[in-house]
Amino acid sequence: MRLSVENLSAGYGRIEVLHRLTIEVAEGGAVGLFGPNGHGKTTLLRTISGLIKPVAGRIRFGEADLTGAAPNAVVDAGIVHVAQASVLFPRMTVLEALTLGAYPRAAWPHRRASLDKVFAIFPRLAERRSQACRTLSGGERQMAAIGVGLMGCPRLLMLDEPTLGLAPKIRQELAQRIALVAETGVGLIVVDQDVDLLLALCPRLYLIEKGTVTMDIKDRSELRHQDVVERYFGSTV
Ligand SMILES: Nc1ncnc2c1ncn2[C@@H]1O[C@H](COP(=O)(O)OP(=O)(O)O)[C@@H](O)[C@H]1O
Ligand SMILES: [Mg+2]
């Protein structure tokens, strides 16, 4: 199903962070979001998830109007948000945490099949299934967080800075695993600071600055022509 966010304004109390922001994600499509810190990427994902009520604008997912919908209604519609620096329950085992991810009503009957899918994408999690989450490495923890998201049978999965703080090699591995998720037909929104990584995963990128879209990149050649990478990410790309 297609996600369409139109002229969305939202923020915290009286502070407006997003100003008439518009993005769309095609059915089963992958979209990357990047931009300077503190400019509203996480706020956008939180607003789509129903954690923040928009002040203006529309959020549509397929036929459903999710503007102002409660978080559980957004999950039931098929949108799952893996938060920035996701913290799993430290004492739970990987398997327990994954099972908890299948709580959405529609996902519960499919939990066995979902678990097989998650273990196929992240074999490391299968090896670590009986281990407590607190004993996982940073990369494994991120895999587990994404796995928990996948257990909810999303049609659209939103990943907020999944590679934050990970070593380059682990980051590459995680990106390959996320690409496998995209191949299963799940729609993706990925926020990351690494534009190269986003380009490898997503045919469409949005640059978000000051709470709005300042560049809509549908073709990676556009990115080369414009010097956006040098402007913001000269050291990483
Ligand atoms: N819980 C909060 N209460 C008030 N302001 C917040 C809160 N969370 C974030 N902000 C502010 O909203 C702005 C956008 O933050 P955020 O969406 O986290 O940016 P990004 O994810 O792009 O780094 C920042 O100015 C930040 O300080
Ligand atoms: Mg953020």
The closest of 190, 137, 125 to 166, measured between CA atoms, is 137
State the DSSP H helix or E strand holding residue 71, giving kind and residue range, or none if neither: helix 71-77
Percent of the chain with pLDDT over 90: 86
pTM: 0.94
pLDDT reading at 12 higher than 60? yes
Domain that holds residue 56: 3-233
Whole-number pLDDT of residue 30: 97
Q: Structural domain tally of the chain?
A: 1
Q: Can you give the pLDDT at residue 214?
A: 94
| Residue whose token pair is 């990483």 | 236
Q: What is the pLDDT of residue 90?
A: 86
| CB 45 near ligand 1, within 6 Å | no
Residue 78 Cα to ligand 2 midpoint, Å, equals 22
Determine the pLDDT at residue 231: 65
Q: Is the CB of 205 under 6 A from ligand 1?
A: no
| Of the candidates 237, 183, 195, 188, the residue with the CA atom closest to the CA atom of residue 220 | 195
Q: Any idea what DSSP says for residue 119? A: H
Average pLDDT over all residues of the chain: 93
**192 contacts 206 by C-beta, under 8 angstroms:** no
- CATH number of 191's domain: 3.40.50.300
**Cβ-Cβ contacts under 8 Å for 10 (sequence gap 6 or more):** 16, 17, 18, 43, 44, 47, 52, 53, 54, 55, 57
Give the position, in ligand 1's atom list, of the atom nearest the Cα of 208.
22
* Residue 237 confidence (pLDDT) above 50: no
Amino acid in position 31: V
DSSP 64: E
What pLDDT sits at residue 44?
Answer: 98
The answer to whether residue 224 scores a pLDDT higher than 70 is no
Side chain identity at 122, as an amino acid letter?
F
Region 130-144: mean pLDDT is 95
Answer yes or no: is the C-beta of 38 below 6 A from any ligand 1 atom.
yes
* pLDDT value, residue 228: 66
Residue 230 pLDDT? 65
DSSP one-letter code for 132: B
Q: How many Å from the N-terminal Cα to the C-terminal Cα in the chain? A: 32
